Amino acid sequence: MAKKKICIIGGGISGTALGYNLSLYDDAEVTLYEKGRIGAGTTSKSAGTVCLFDDSLNNRYWDVRLYGFETYCKMEKEKRGSAGFDKTGTLVCALDEKDEKRIKTGIALAKSAGYTGEYITDKDRIKKILPMIDPDSIIGAGYTADDGYFDGTMISNNFASKMEANGATVIIGVGVTDIKVEGGAAVGITTSEGKQEAYDVIVDCTGPWSRFTGKMVDLEVPIWHTKAEAFFMAPSEKLDYVFPILKFPAFYALRAGNNIFICKSHLSMDLDNPMHAGQWDPDKLPERGGTDDYFIEFLFEQMEKNVPGLVDAGLSSSWLSYRAEPRDFLPIIGDTPVKNYLLATGYGGNGVIEAPAVSRDLAKYIMRGESTLLLEEWAFSRLLKK
Ligand SMILES: Cc1cc2nc3c(=O)[nH]c(=O)nc-3n(C[C@H](O)[C@H](O)[C@H](O)COP(=O)(O)OP(=O)(O)OC[C@H]3O[C@@H](n4cnc5c(N)ncnc54)[C@H](O)[C@@H]3O)c2cc1C
């Protein structure tokens, strides 16, 4: 049987999840190139939260969220610790009736899938779940104890191992430096080692780098880099309770060892504000630090208002990373104007949540030509129309 030769560029959660899903087809011959290490790009800076209900992804895509969550839970069950699951639960805060309605819808959806969820207005109860919060700053909160956060780097490495076990090839430390286009179609690549290889399909999974890899085929990939500035707070007292993932519309917080990770939420970023977004070079990101006073000041204001228990915590470290965000904050998946050059990029602040469902559908499309509603909604062509 003639196999379809597929090249994946990038070994973050996007590339490895796709590689694993493609490796399940026995007529796929898959090679993944990662110029650095597996899961060491944006994925390594991720909070990895996959909450059963919050505002990070519209309830319209709730099945995407559920599929992601359950994929990682199964991974964790197969081998304990392999997805880095920390089951902290989530407290999602409502500031107004619109938030409340959205949270209640999410709770109903979570319950329909067999999970727990409740909307709480009793302030003592909210304070019992999270003693650091000021319950007077919110009108209520959705709570589930069933979800938590995962480790994107561990998951990516797990997907990479699984795809290799299925016969795919993972090449680490080798970048793709050029893509050959003939008659409007991508036909092969050149690697950083000078090797040339022909492929039937090339899928660009390079996240914030896709601005640059797109240029290899003369394509303007319409993503912006938004600054994801994460700050690690060291509370003065050791936490003697389970700190749940805390979601406010403007920011979120979660436990990271003995520290609390805080970050401005991705949907509150303004692509037209040069402090929030721009076009930068992800290769120049420092391992640690590189953050702006603007974001920590913003987050401290939020803490003072909403989580006063964290105001006295010292800052133990911080990092800057870039999310790849299209204008509508939804990913760009599938065909592009260049035949056989596909994208699985622009995951923004939701790549961990979205990669499993997207990769399942995209692998089917690549191998069988069958599209799905999700792929149609997240197609590159939607951005050309605007
Ligand atoms: C602070 C922060 C918090 C986040 N929190 C969450 C969260 O709670 N939940 C959630 O779902 N998502 C979250 N995200 C978003 C999520 O982390 C990203 O959407 C996701 O990791 C993007 O994965 P990716 O594979 O597209 O990109 P990346 O992880 O950046 O992978 C791209 C890879 O491509 C490689 N590459 C680039 N160019 C080349 C080339 N020419 N040849 C070969 N390889 C190349 C890079 O080395 C890199 O490893 C967060 C992100 C950040 C920054």
Let me know: does 358 contact 19? Beta carbons within 8 Å.
Answer: no
Contacts of 36 (CB under 8 A, 6+ apart): 11, 173
pLDDT of 311-342, one tens digit each?
A: 889 999 999 999 999 999 999 999 999 999 99
Provide the mean pLDDT of the chain: 97
Biggest alpha carbon distance in the chain? Answer: 67
Closest-lying ligand 1 atom to the alpha carbon of residue 213: 41
pLDDT of residue 386 exceeding 70: no
267 lines ligand 1 (CB under 6 A): no
Task: Compare 155 and 238 and report the one with higher pLDDT.
Answer: 155
Q: According to the model, what pLDDT value does residue 236 have? A: 85
Distance CA 281, CA 212 (A): 9
Cα 50 to middle of ligand 1, angstroms: 15
Q: Give whole-number Cα distances, 308 to 93, 96, 122, 171, 302, in Å.
A: 15, 20, 19, 48, 9
Written as one letter, the residue type at 191 is T
| CATH 3.40.190.10 at 4-43+152-223+328-384, yes or no | no
Helices 351-368 and 62-78, packing angle to 10 deg = 90
Let me know: does 372 contact 211? Beta carbons within 8 Å.
Answer: no
Let me know: does 171 contact 31? Beta carbons within 8 Å.
Answer: yes
Least confident piece of the model among 64-68, 139-143, 257-261: 257-261
Q: Tell me if ipTM is over 0.95.
A: yes
Q: According to the model, what pLDDT value does residue 1 have? A: 77
Atom 37 of ligand 1, nearest CA residue: 206
* Of residues 152, 12, 22, the one with CA closest to residue 82: 152
Distance CA 175, CA 58 (A): 35
Q: Which CATH number fits domain 87-146+224-324: 3.90.1580.10, 3.40.309.10, 3.40.50.2300, 3.30.9.10?
A: 3.30.9.10
CATH 3.30.9.10 in the chain, residues? 87-146+224-324
